[in-house]
Chain A
């Protein structure tokens, strides 16, 4: 149980295009999902917190107009990187907190490797 999937697992796109990454909780509902980014040799950094049916909360320094987050259902959150540039190349990983669970419970997806050429 408690499986989170991400799609795609890797993607290469051209500079200026947009890319959508999906995060799905497969066997539980998640009111809250989190999006992280990891650059080489650095730690996972929280980008935003996504709550079903409401606007996402972005961390300081993360451009909300560039990283569009939609959490339209209790099992799906999407992250769209708009007008991607090479500096957006990174590893993006989501996690999902089961609805009604305690504050420390979250399950991670396997991540998406984005390369912008």
Chain B
């Protein structure tokens, strides 16, 4: 994998459902993996920064895992709420500052 890829591109879930999406990234020369939450007309908000293989991070109902050897990260949302509706971006830096972003997963939680 040469780029950062995210799947699915978009999904709709019902309120209360749990969901997850995937970020795939180049496993060579790995530095870190970031997840951002981006609501329309607002600034992307950092959710997690993960650097170590096997890392698991959690913030409320949102959690993420990291596998640097195979080059993927999962983001999980438990009990989705309408306010979770946003685009979730992942990014992996190549070197100190050049971040490669995925195209994002657009989540819509239906009440």
A78 near B: Cβ within 8 Å?
no
User: What size tier do the contact residues of chain B reach?
Assistant: 20 to 34
CB of B73 to closest CB in A, whole Å: 15
Cβ of B32: which chain A residues have Cβ within 8 Å of it? Answer: 104
**Residues on the A chain within 8 Å of B36, using CB:** 108
User: Chain A interface (Cβ within 8 Å of chain B)?
Assistant: 3-4, 9, 32, 34, 36, 41-46, 49, 59, 93, 97, 103-104, 107-111
Query: Does B1 count as interface, using CB distance less than 8 angstroms?
Result: no
Pairs across A and B, CB under 8 Å, 6 listed: A43-B100, A44-B89, A44-B99, A103-B93, A108-B43, A108-B44
- Quick one: given A43-B104, A44-B101, are A104 and B34 in contact (CB under 8 Å)? yes
Closest 3 CB pairs of A and B: A44-B101, A43-B101, A108-B44
A3 to chain B, nearest CB (A): 8
A107, closest chain B residue (CB) = B43
Let me know if A43 and B43 touch, CB within 8 A. Answer: no
